[in-house]
Structure formats: structure tokens, C-alpha cells
Structure 1
């Protein structure tokens, strides 16, 4: 377990009157490193962000779906703008809002189910483009003692997102039946807004799981006084 933060990290003090300004400056200094990742802070490479597997299962509303996405690669994350970056030490709260002009995702997929009463079956490669995504993340922590020091653990993660457009293409739908596959891809793209709302809980959970994987490791490795001294 590391015992000190990397020297390139600008450390801010929780009681400083300019805390939010300091945190924003610290983040901007780290941004160039996000592309290749910051292993010292348990931050994976962002271009692309590689996620080994994402499972999405839903059997409520207009969607009955069991799907697995493997070797997920996401590009475009580093080209974001920061809308809000704020810390509230008294509440152990961290708020970050980002806008991504475009995210491109590709993966191998396996899917089976029904969408709006239409059967959906496929096993192949998928490409998804998300346009103008704004994502707001709120983390709320709790202090605890470990080895005589105060550490943080995340109790609550809230993620909200909005997007302007989606384009999706699934290869090899319906055992390679091109006519059926083309019609289904057309249907998915024409109805993306309604479908996006149906799968919002699944997408939110997937985002939370990806985020927690890094944040939990970071907070378990460095004490609160290391990360944000008084």
C-alpha cells in the first residue's frame, strides 16, 4: 500500500477559503495524465477506457433484456469540459459535472430479449456513439479509523446524465439475418430516446460500478489527512 501521494499531485487543504479553486487547478494539472492513466491514484487509462465486462439485465417496463458486453472500449472521455467541481468537507461530499461532446463505445456483445414487444437476439460486435453527454456525479463519504488514521469510504454514489443523440449498430443480429438485423438497427436508432429512458437505471448502475472501482481503491490506500489535509 502506498504511503504518500505522488509528487505531481497538487494537494489542497479542506479548510482553505479557496478550496474549490485549488481543487479545480489540481484537476486541470492532472488532465493530461488521464489519457494514459494515473496508476499511483488508481485511475485507469482513459483513451481508451477499457472495461472487461458489463452485464445489463432488465425485465420491467417495455424491455425484457439479458445482455453482456465484453472488451468494452470507450474513446472521447479526455475531451471533456468541466461544468462543476466542488468539495464540501463538512458533509464529506464531492461533486463533479462533466460534458463530453462525443463518446464512442465498441465491444463484443451477446443479447437476448424483447424491446417494445419486438424480439432481440444477437451475438457479435457493437458500436455506439453518444453525442453531447452531460454527467453529474455526487459522492458522499464517511470517516472511519484504520491504523490510527482517519480514512474515507464512499457510502453513496449518485450519477445523473443527459444526452442529445445516440447512434447504435449491432452486428450479427438474428444469427446473421441481414434484413432483420438492418430493420432492428433502424428501429433502435429511431426510438433511442424512449429506449434510453427504459435502460437509464441499468446505465446508471453500470457507471456507478465503474466509478467505484477506482474511488474505493484510492480512499482505502490514502488517509483523509493525506488526500485533503486540514
Structure 2
């Protein structure tokens, strides 16, 4: 149940340019208050990008009606699917109706941007994340088959995450946009707690056993699940980023 760890972190970063209209919500000459643009020629470009994320924080908390961006505190994610087919924990997990608290309390640790190749590397930390939702899991843990469905609660603290965005420039109606070709993510955390309420197995006996197992072996489970978790996160937020970057012209957020 660990794939929610980095969702809120990446969502905070992605929302820098988030919009939900079918066409560009802003003209190339727009200077909205929630976007602090940077210049390609700025010798301190990385610092500028970092300050842009910091500048964005209060707008993420309140939401931005102009581009139909709702508040991400709490952050709500309708669905996430994770497959892990290797190691001791081999499961397919589907999470739905996810609510994440703590999304906007991020600190940008480092930024490296390449304006020629449109590659952006980010490192950030979040003190704590609390998430709830529904889950369905099928697979094997060690040699034991696991089938469970119900509600979950998870808590993570001292989270550090990284993301690498590989983009390219595309032209739409004569206007330049950035498309995300690939997104790689990683994360580490110091402490985690889990609680599930199993609705599938009678008398909740298996659910209680899973609660005990999850909390006693959380570090090992997180490491086993990380490949599947990071792949699911990367796929989810690649689509999310393209929904933003392909609607907001490059000149709005990156000046020549």
C-alpha cells in the first residue's frame, strides 16, 4: 500500500502549469500571478525554477479558478493501479478514491534544468503525508496467496523524492509547447504506518493479520514494492504533466 508516497509531491510540482481546458487557457503574452516565469538566459536559472515552485505554494492551497485547478490540499486521486511481479511480494494493487493530506508542505531541495533538451531534475522533501482510500489486492506475499479488498489508511514521514522529466518541444497552431516524453521517479522515507479494514474476508481476521504483517515488515515491503510503485507513479504523472504542459505555451513560463 505504499505507492501513494510520492503522488502528492509530484502533483505539487506538476500543478505549476496545470490546466484542464481543451485548449491553451492562457495566451503566450499572459503573466498570471501564480506563475513566476524564468528566462533561458538567466545564469541562476535553477534558482529561478526553485523560487517558482515556492511562489506557487499558496495558490496550490487555495486553488486557481482561472484554469479550473481545484485546491490540492487535500489532494484527491480517483484511481491508481500498481503491478509488482518480482521478488517476495508479487501483487497487483488497485487504489481508488484516494485522499492525500500534506501535499503542499514540500521543500524544494535542488533543481537542475536544461532549457535546450527540456530535461528537469527535481529533489524535494515532505515532512509527512497521510492518505486514505479504497484498495483491492491480489497476488502472493512470500509463498502465501493474498486476496483482500477494503479501506486503507497510511502515514509516511520524512519523505525525500526525486523526479526526472524528459521533454521535447512541439508546435500546436504555431505555438510552442513542451511534451513530457518520459518521467522517472524515486523516493525514500524514514517511517511508515499502515491500517487496512478488509471487507472481503469474514470477521476481519485476515485483515488484522495483514495489519500486523504490514507494520512489522514495512521497510522490507516498501523496498519490494518500490519498482512497481515508481512505475505506476511515473505513468500516472506523465499523463498528468502532459495534460498541463501541452495546454500552457512555453513562453508563459520560460521566456527567451
Q: Same fold (TM over 0.5)?
A: yes
What pairs with 1:36-47 in structure 2 (closer than 5 Å)? 36-38=62-64, 40=66, 45-47=71-73
Of residues 85, 91, 107, the one that matches 1:59 is 85
Of residues 69, 82, 87, the one that matches 2:108 is 82
Change (3 A) 1:43 1:207: farther
Asked if 1:175 corresponds to 2:201, the answer is yes
Of residues 91, 97, 107, the one that matches 1:71 is 97
Of residues 153, 160, 166, the one that matches 2:192 is 166
Contact 2:192 2:218 in 1 (8 A): yes
How many Å separate the matches in 1 of 2:229 and 2:74?
19
Aligned alpha-carbon RMSD (Å): 2.1
TM-score using structure 1 length: 0.90
Tell me the secondary structure at the aligned position of residue 112 of structure 2.
strand
How many Å separate the matches in 2 of 1:28 and 1:127?
29
TM-score using structure 2 length: 0.81
Q: CA deviation at 1:67?
A: 2.2
How many Å separate the matches in 1 of 2:86 and 2:112?
36
Which residue is 1:7 aligned to?
A: 32
Q: CA deviation at 1:70?
A: 1.1
Q: CA deviation at 1:134?
A: 0.5
Of residues 151, 155, 158, the one that matches 1:132 is 158
Count, aligned residues? 230
Structure 2 portions without partners, runs of 5+: 1-22
Structure 1 portions without partners, runs of 5+: none
Larger RCO, structure (CA 8 Å, separation 6 or more): 2
Tell me the secondary structure at the aligned position of residue 35 of structure 1.
helix
Q: Give CA-to-partner distance per residue, 1:167-223, whole Å, 9 cap, x none.
A: 111112661434432222111111112211111122112322332233212221123
Which residue is 2:243 aligned to?
A: 217
